[in-house]
């Protein structure tokens, strides 16, 4: 049963389904669930929500305790501070880290915890580096992902394109999303790997407006603090880490846990 | 313990670690592991490998029983056959399906089963649609992912680029990979969403050659059977589904389970 629940996060499973699957009485299933709930809470891996009534059942919501998250994030920050990660333009090389399944699972769980109470239909990101973070979060929340492309590929059918100005580089860029990729009125969680002024995320918001969709939340892995306040396009977002200083000459950078840990 | 194992696939965990974590004798840990092993095998969700000796321990290898995989794949094939999925050029629209966490978890588990016995250091894919499949597989095998880009972004540092000819469209294209993304001599599993003649995958193989890396295997989600045999650039690959016929006029297509299910 533990395995069954863990592999189906944010999915309502009726007691009847469990009773049939394990050929047990509902009463003993209930008792087992109570034990599992206790263990999940003790280990800090998530909540087991019980809904009463005919349409009721039990739902596993993966979470991560804030103290555990902070410890993991401090380690990630140390790794991000490695001098060979500093790149021209105040960027950090982190593609290798975004390729590690374990780190992604941890970060996905943090985002899932941060946005657990929001009503979200779909997660949106823009290619390329935000994609693994979006999927890791989606796996915990059990909701689909749509990927905004920086070009418009033939294999997607008709698409909506918008131009946006990257806030930090001031360059005009294009992003597009297939018309059928997103239903109107969707509630969308935006996830991205790195945010400077927020131009890319603002672009995604403009695109959402074209689809009559609304923003349910914005989560970024690393935000850059190297931005003048008046340049910042976005106020309401969750960041897991914050790049507070980069010295291009010495290739030194300082990365601290993001605003998620101060809330 | 079940939860601990499930969340750490393909990771060797020593009995001592378990004994300390749960403050039990190793002998009772062993007994519990034997029960978990039995349940995992009964449910067909994977193997529990035990390694004896001082460096020993236990390792959970996520797998999917072939009969279960075939049932799931038949359903995926039916979904892929929906007439509105046929796109110009004999492609299928499947971006929405590749956004579903549950489908991805299933497909990742199939690839992980197919390549469980190979020695693999890293999974490689090319942006954009192969990425979620690569990560889903990586999560099961606990190995990192590298993403080959169709451009060369400034945030990546120095990169190796190659030109390749897409076998079906005969167009010359470019792909590149950051120099530091892949160690020399790596054993690489290539995962992609769609293969026609195999030009893109051949391109990735050429890129691997530049990195002195070797191909440990090739897995594609859907292969197109609409290719003359002499055009096929690749022989040795695993496909989960096969597009055998597309009629552009009636928008009808036929999709059957791939070569993985005939081996």
The answer to whether B205 touches B233, Cβ cutoff 8 Å, is no
CA distance linking residue B25 with residue B80, whole number of Å: 51
ipTM: 0.89
The pLDDT of residue B173: 87
The answer to whether A101 contacts B181, with C-beta atoms less than 8 Å apart, is no
Q: Find, in chain A, the residue whose alpha carbon is nearest to that of B137.
A: A101
Decide if A87 and B154 are in contact by the 8 Å CB cutoff. Answer: yes
Among residues A137, A78, A16, A87, the alpha carbon closest in space to that of A255 is found at A78
Residues from chain A that touch B131, judged by Cβ atoms under 8 A, are 128, 131-132, 135
Residue A9 has pLDDT above 70, yes or no: yes
CB spacing of A3 vs B143 below 8 angstroms: no
Alpha helix (H) ranges present in chain B? 2-6, 15-22, 26-43, 66-80, 101-114, 131-141, 199-210
pLDDT value at A63 more than 90: yes
Distance CA A97, CA A80 (A): 9
What pTM, to 2 d.p., does this model score?
A: 0.92
Strand, helix or coil at A162?
A: strand
Residue in this structure with the two tokens 């979620």, named with its chain if needed = B132
Q: What is the pLDDT of residue B56?
A: 84
Q: How confident is the prediction for chain A on average, in pLDDT?
A: 91
Sheet holding A187-195: strands in order across? A145-148, A122-126, A187-195, A214-224, A238-247, A252-257
Q: Work out the pLDDT band at A226, boundaries 50, 70, 90.
A: confident
Spatial CB neighbours of A44, under 8 Å, sequence gap ≥ 6:
A63, A64, A65, A68
Q: What domains are defined for chain A?
A: 1-62 (1.10.10.10), 66-257 (3.40.50.2020)
- Cβ within 8 Å, pair B99-A6: no
The minimal CB distance from A3 to the residues B45, B95, B127 is found for B45
Looking at residue B132, its pLDDT comes to: 97
Which chain B residue is nearest to residue A89, measuring alpha carbons?
B155
Contact B95 A6 (CB under 8 A): no
Q: How large is the average pLDDT for residues A170-198?
A: 92
In the structure encoding, which two tokens stand for residue A251, read together?
A: 């290739």
Q: Using 50, 70 and 90 to split pLDDT, how confident is the model at A56? A: confident
Q: What is the pLDDT of residues A149-170, one digit of tens each?
A: 987 665 677 889 999 987 666 7
8 Å CB contact of A43 and B144 = no
Per-residue confidence (pLDDT) for residue B263, from 0 to 100: 61
pLDDT at A258 over 60: yes
Q: Measure CB to CB from residue A99 to each of B6, B91, B144 and give the nearest one.
A: B144
Mode of pairing for the β-strands spanning B252-257 and A86-87: unpaired
Of B3, B104, B135, the CB nearest to A2: B3
What is the block-wise mean pLDDT of chain B (263 residues), using blocks of 10 residues?
90 92 91 93 91 87 95 98 87 92 96 96 95 97 94 73 79 89 96 93 95 97 84 88 92 95 80
A121 or A158, which is more confident: A121
What pLDDT does residue B88 have?
80
The token pair that represents B222 in the structure block? 């859907």
Q: Which residues of A touch B (CB under 8 A)?
A: 2-3, 6-7, 39-40, 43, 45, 87-89, 91, 93, 95-96, 99-102, 104-105, 122, 127-128, 131-132, 135-136, 138-139, 142-147, 149, 153-157, 178, 180-181
Contact B94, B85 (CB under 8 A): yes
């Amino acid at each position: 049963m533990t395995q069954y629940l863990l592999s189906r996060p944010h999915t309502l499973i009726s007691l009847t389904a469990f009773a049939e699957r394990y050929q047990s009485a509902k009463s003993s299933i209930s008792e087992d669930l109570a034990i599992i709930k206790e263990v999940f809470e003790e280990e800090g891996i998530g909540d087991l929500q019980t809904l009463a009534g005919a349409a009721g059942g039990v739902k596993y919501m993966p979470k991560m305790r804030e103290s555990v998250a902070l410890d993991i994030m401090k380690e990630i920050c140390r790794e991000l501070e490695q001098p060979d990660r500093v790149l021209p333009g105040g960027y950090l090389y982190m593609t290798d880290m975004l390729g590690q399944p374990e780190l992604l699972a941890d970060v996905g769980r943090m985002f899932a915890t941060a946005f657990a109470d929001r009503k979200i239909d779909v997660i949106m990101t823009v290619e390329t580096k935000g994609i693994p973070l979006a999927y890791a979060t989606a796996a915990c929340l059990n909701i689909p992902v749509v990927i905004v492309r920086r070009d418009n590929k033939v294999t997607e059918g008709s698409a909506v394109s918008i131009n946006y100005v990257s806030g930090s580089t001031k360059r005009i860029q294009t992003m597009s999303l297939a018309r059928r990729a997103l239903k109107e009125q969707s509630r969308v969680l935006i996830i991205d790997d790195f945010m400077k002024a927020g131009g890319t995320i603002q672009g995604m918001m403009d695109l959402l407006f074209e689809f009559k969709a609304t923003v349910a939340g914005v989560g970024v892995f690393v935000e850059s603090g190297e931005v003048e306040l008046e340049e910042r396009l976005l106020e309401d977002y969750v960041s897991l880490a914050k790049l507070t200083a980069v010295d291009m000459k010495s290739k030194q950078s300082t990365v601290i846990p993001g605003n998620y840990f101060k809330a």
